[in-house]
Amino acid sequence: MSTRALSFGANAEAYERFRPGYPEELFELVLGYAGRPVRTALEIGAGTGKATRLFAAHGVAVTATEPDAAMLAELRGAVPAKVTTVRAAFEDLRPGETYGLVFAAAALHWTRPEGRWSRVAGFLEPEGVFASVGGPLGPADPAVEEAVRTARAPFLDSDGVPSPDGTAPDAAMRWPGTELRRSRLFVDVRQSVIERRLTLSAADYLGHLSTVSAYLQLPRPRRQQAYDAIARVLPGTVEVNADLTVHLARRARPPVAPGAGPDVVRWTGQGV
């Protein structure tokens, strides 16, 4: 896991305060796709539990994993006691238990690409569901967006996270749907968008930027200079585009070994 991926813990309280939660539409989308009750879930990179609490509120027994101790402390203070928490990166989890759902909220891009999909598949029940959700948050007004970009430019070319497989942000199928479609371990890959518009005060918008990894990688004096430059061009309230892109996929049935009976299957856990 990269240094950038582990940069959030130093500002865990701000992450909990300024990052928006996830809407009911997300749970409804996942449940509708699953086509059956979702009783157990493994969450990758739970952060402070923004998505954890949505699924837990609907009775899902969530095992929330998070490598950063400060983020995990915030999560434990915010989610129901019935949520199981594990301090570990996804790559360090031991295989064994399987779940009806494996999901990641604004976290999958921090996992290592090598063996990512075989690890996900290994934690899923047969035909279990994988879900990934995320999306940038930025000014909805093009004039404000351009003013922020210009103010940020001396410090950062971009404050976004590049697509892990190089897929263009305006492509019809975005990452990780692109990789899921290439994988033999998943079928029925779908992409949906949940449209959201939020109104933030200028202070809260800056608070959100204080949780963005690109800024957290800057030396502290440069970081503050970037925040100050952006603050000077913001209106009192900022309308933001906070659309969520959701990718869903189902674990493929393992192939039946030649000559085997219907209950004997061969599943190596290998693949893209």
pLDDT tens digits, 214-260? 999 999 999 999 999 999 999 999 999 999 999 999 999 876 444 44
pLDDT at 3 over 70: no
* The pLDDT of residue 7: 46
**Residue 119 above 90 pLDDT?**
yes
Rounded to 5°, angle at Cα 116 from 95 and 51: 80
Q: Domains for the chain: give ranges and CATH numbers.
A: 8-137+163-197+241-251 (3.40.50.150)
DSSP E strands, 95-175: 99-105, 124-134, 138-139
User: 36: which 2 tokens?
Assistant: 């059956």
Write down the mean pLDDT value for the chain. 90
Is 80 exceeded by the pLDDT of residue 6? no
pTM for the full predicted model: 0.89
Q: What's the maximum distance between 2 C-alpha atoms anywhere in the chain?
A: 71
Instruction: In whole angstroms, give the CA distance from residue 114 to residue 162.
Output: 17
Q: Report pLDDT for 130.
A: 98
Q: What is the CA radius of gyration of the chain?
A: 20
Closest among 99, 58, 56 to 79, alpha carbons compared: 56
Predicted local confidence at residue 122, as pLDDT: 97
Strands, E, within 108-152: which ranges?
124-134, 138-139
pLDDT for 262? 35
Q: What is the pLDDT of residue 81?
A: 83
pLDDT value at 211 more than 90: yes
pLDDT tens figures, 157-202: 999 989 999 999 889 999 999 999 999 999 999 999 999 999 999 9
